[in-house]
A = this chain, B = another copy of it.
Amino acid sequence: MQTYNPNDTICAPATAPGMAAIAVLRLSGPGAFDIAAGIFIPKNKKLSLAKTPSHKVSLGQVMEGEQPVDEVLLTKFVAPNSYTGEDMVEISCHGSPYIQQKILQLMIDSGARMASPGEFTMRAFLNGRLDLSQAEAVADLIASNSEASRDLAFSQLRGHFSKRISDLRQKLLEFASLIELELDFSEEDLEFADRTQLRQLLGDIDDEIDRLRESFATGNALKQGIPVAIIGKPNVGKSTLLNALLNEERAIVSEIPGTTRDAIEDTITISGIAFRFIDTAGLRESDEPIESVGIERTYEKIRQASIILYLFDLSETGLEEIAETIRDFRDRVGEDDKRLILVANKIDLMEEIPHHFRNLVDLETVFVSAKRKENISMITDSLVQSAVTHPEERDATLVTSSRHYEALSRAAESVAAVRQGMDDGISGDLLAIDLRGALYHLGSITGEVTSDEILGEIFGRFCIGK
């Protein structure tokens, strides 16, 4: 990001690479209109680009000297009413990679340079169009692959999370100012900052930070997909079940052609929530028993799961044996915050389903035939229920970024130090240091405090053209 210079006019393709009906090229910066005027001739000659109002689309041709290159639509955005907050032009050309490259080359020859990854959004941030957490939400929104992850990113983009953090920080800032003021008058031993109120506020901030940090597990799971493990002995039907689950969803998704090409292997979205199936020792290919070699690695994987589907072959396994296995499993893994669902498979081979089963194992149990795809929807219902155990969380502000989690943790440490310091009766200047620490870490989330390093790290992960 060291090359960032707001006097540069930058350009890049904004749409995905590849052949398509159209592609959109972006040009932003002080020279955007001059560069565009030099390579674009509107069909309506009377409407020169200079006279074109903001947010107006013009039909015309991109020219290389006297030679027309392509027929395009050009949209003009006059600063500050653009994505970056700068003068901006978007050219919608025919979606040939060659034509895109050609037009970009013409822009570059006219004085633009290729944008770095995320540079458009970074300019939006630096021009005050977005705060840092909102800028990060743009990347999350683009990467969102489920209702839940889109919800979270969009809520963050609309500033819900930023507002929460800013409010906390604003309150803390007031106290910090008073403490700093005390330092200026330190010889007079004044206390501008009401210690009882400060203690109260620090307690509130601590609670809020704790709540936000706790929400990271849910937020991250919803963003990345909730990890699910399917386990069981060989031949109980694990691969068949996984395929049945995946096929059920693929069938729904593929109703809209042209939009499924990026489907992620082994992830399904049910009721807007993504579930990510963890590969427990080659779950899909081999039927390695969890009792055999590699058992520790398998348990390691199982521990990462939020939901475990424990699969039995009901036609082969006695109820007592199942109960025994489950007890053993619970002893070894513990359940903590996991959800364990017992899936009794191969009911197609049974004459009747044992009614007293549930009492025996005291666990949510689903009876299915993976092979005949019977009752598969009962599993998906259970998965959704497990994911929204705390339905109130879905409306709350959730932390989804590990950077934010990290900053909140650092802020919590500083707040704890302030509280400890007050208990120990340390001096105002030492208190002020820890307060500044808390302010810094909260501010780094929204970008009120920032550094080139943070910016480089955040925007370096963006795609070019955003």
Binding site for B on A (CB under 8 A): 12-24, 26, 55-58, 68-71, 75, 77, 92, 94-102, 104-105, 108, 114, 120, 138, 141-147, 149-150, 154, 157-158, 253, 256-262, 463-466
Contact = CB atoms under 8 A, between A and B. Distances in A.
Nearest to A105: B256
B464 A257 contact: yes
B142 A20 contact: yes
The 10 A-B pairs at the shortest CB distance, nearest first, are namely A21-B466, A16-B18, A16-B20, A15-B15, A16-B16, A55-B57, A14-B21, A21-B465, A101-B259, A258-B464
A145 B97 contact: yes
Contacts of A145: 96-98
B97 A138 contact: no
A95 B464 contact: no
Query: Which of A68, A146, A154, A253 has its CB near the most chain B CB atoms (within 10 A)?
Result: A154
A95 to B, nearest CB: 5
B150 A18 contact: no
A333 B21 CA distance: 42
Contacts of A17: 16, 18, 20, 258-259, 261-262
A142 B24 contact: no
B256 A114 contact: yes
Contact of A95 (B96, B120, B142, B146): B142
Given A22-B465, A57-B75, A114-B258, 15 more contacts: A12-B258, A15-B23, A16-B18, A17-B18, A17-B262, A18-B18, A20-B463, A21-B465, A55-B57, A75-B75, A98-B149, A99-B150, A102-B147, A104-B256, A105-B256
Nearest to A101: B259
Contact of A24 (B15, B18, B57, B256): B15
Contact of A96 (B57, B114, B143): B143
A22 B18 contact: no
